[in-house]
Amino acid sequence: MSEIKVNSVVNSTGDNDSGLDLATNDQVIIKTANTTALTVDSSQNTKIASNLDVGTIRATNGTSAMTINSNGIVIPKGVILQVNAIDTDQAYSASSGKVKIQWETVEIDTISGWDSTNHRYTPNVAGYYLVGGSMRASMSNVLSSVAIIVRRNNVANDAHELENRFQSNSDTFFNGSYPLPTGLVQMNGSSDYIEVFFGGEENISIHDASDIKSHFFATLVHAT
């Protein structure tokens, strides 16, 4: 059976109020508030108690890491970021090539990884991050080409970029909200950072609307 490490280990009588109960039949029982919350048997099958009162599984430093409610729903805490911008009218000049999109407000940042000065995200947990969002723009000069890029470490190559590119053989793209690329970006948890860039062949205004927000999100889906 796989080894599970926690801050404290209790005996089979469950005298402590948290930790692991090493019970008979090669079972591991995770307890919260001296109540069995999660059982893993010798076949590695898991079972959440159906009559469980609201309980909390805590990290080794004592902070709340995950809650299992009375319906057996697991409510985790994770690494997540979302930033937005509303009616900031960031000017884009076609002669500038690709420019970094600026974000006005941090909606959520559970690890304080967002750099508001440089408009970049540097998470301190290594792993694969799901990214996405949308960009609102005023394109008074109708465009035939629109590119939105999520780039790691400002390196312009396929290994470091996710890109949404919309292209037509005539002027097609007008005012609207355009999707950021959605996909996984691997981050090393120390020096790697991600930013969002825009490129087009006409001058436009990014984040032009007062009632429609642009947003960018990143969330850890698999730690490494």
Q: Are residues 87 and 142 in the same domain?
A: yes
pLDDT score recorded for residue 120: 98
Q: Residue 15 sits in which domain range? A: 9-76
Q: What is the DSSP string of the chain?
A: ------S-EE-TT--SSEEEEE-STT-EEEEETTEEEEEE-TT--EEE-TTPPSEEEE-TTSSEEEEE-TT--EEE---EEEEEE-S--EEE-GGG-SEEPP--EEEEETT--EETTTTEE--SS-EEEEEEEEEEEE-SS-BSEEEEEEEETT--SGGGEEEEEEE-SS--B-SEEEEPP-EEEEE-SSS--EEEEEEESS-EEES--SSS-EEEEEEEEEE-
pLDDT surpassing 50 at residue 8: no
Looking at the fold, whether 98 and 125 belong to one and the same domain comes out as: yes
The domain tally of the chain equals 2
In the predicted model, what is the mean pLDDT of residues 117-123?
A: 98
Tell me the pLDDT tens digit for each residue of 38-67.
777 777 777 766 554 456 777 767 777 788
Question: In this predicted structure, what is the pLDDT of residue 11?
Answer: 40
Q: Please indicate, yes or no, whether residues 92 and 51 belong to a single structural domain of this protein.
A: no
Q: Is residue 1 part of a domain?
A: no
Q: Do 103 and 172 reside in the same domain of the chain?
A: yes
- The answer to whether residue 159 sits within a structural domain is yes
| Residue 2 lies inside a defined structural domain of this protein | no
Residues 41, 97, single domain; the answer is no
Q: Are residues 139 and 209 in the same domain?
A: yes
- 65 with 91, same domain: the answer is no
Query: Is residue 4 a part of any domain in this protein?
Result: no
Binned at pLDDT 50, 70 and 90, residue 7 comes out as very low
Within this chain, do residues 146 and 188 fall inside the same structural domain, yes or no? yes
pLDDT digits (tens, 9 = 90+) for 160-175: 999 999 888 888 888 8
What's the whole-number mean pLDDT along residues 98-109? 97
The answer to whether residue 12 scores a pLDDT higher than 50 is: no
**Mean per-residue pLDDT for 11-32?**
51
Answer yes or no: do 65 and 141 share one domain. no
Is residue 133, in this structure, part of any structural domain at all? yes
Residue 164's CATH number: 2.60.120.40
Nearest to 173 by CA among 161, 182, 164: 164
